[in-house]
C-alpha cells in the first residue's frame, strides 16, 4: 500500500481534473460521481485486503478544517 505522495507534480493536475469533473453538478450528482470513481479505483486496485486497509486509514484520518 502506497501512502506517500505518488503523483508528485501531477497531484495538482489530478485535483484540477477532479474539480473540472464536478463542474456544473449539484451535490447529489457530485456524490454519485465520487461513488463511481471510488468503485472504479477499487476495481483497479483489485485487492480486498489493501482496500480494507485504505478504508480503515481513511476513516481514522481527521478531516482538515479550513
**Per-residue pLDDT of the chain in tens (66 residues, 90 and over written 9):** 788 999 999 999 999 999 999 999 999 999 999 999 999 999 999 999 999 999 999 999 888 766
Residue 46: what pLDDT?
A: 97
Residue 20: what pLDDT?
A: 98
CA distance 47 to 42: 8
| C-alpha triplet 23, 58, 65: angle, nearest 5° | 65
Residue 66: what pLDDT?
A: 62
Give me the residue label for grid cell 485487492: 47
CA distance 31 to 37: 10
Amino acid at each position: 500500500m502506497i501512502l506517500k505522495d505518488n503523483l508528485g507534480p501531477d497531484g495538482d493536475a489530478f485535483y484540477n481534473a477532479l474539480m473540472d469533473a464536478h463542474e456544473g453538478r449539484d451535490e447529489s450528482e457530485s456524490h454519485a460521481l465520487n461513488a463511481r470513481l471510488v468503485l472504479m479505483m477499487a476495481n483497479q486496485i483489485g485487492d480486498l485486503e489493501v482496500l480494507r486497509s485504505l478504508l480503515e486509514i481513511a476513516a481514522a484520518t481527521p478531516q482538515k478544517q479550513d
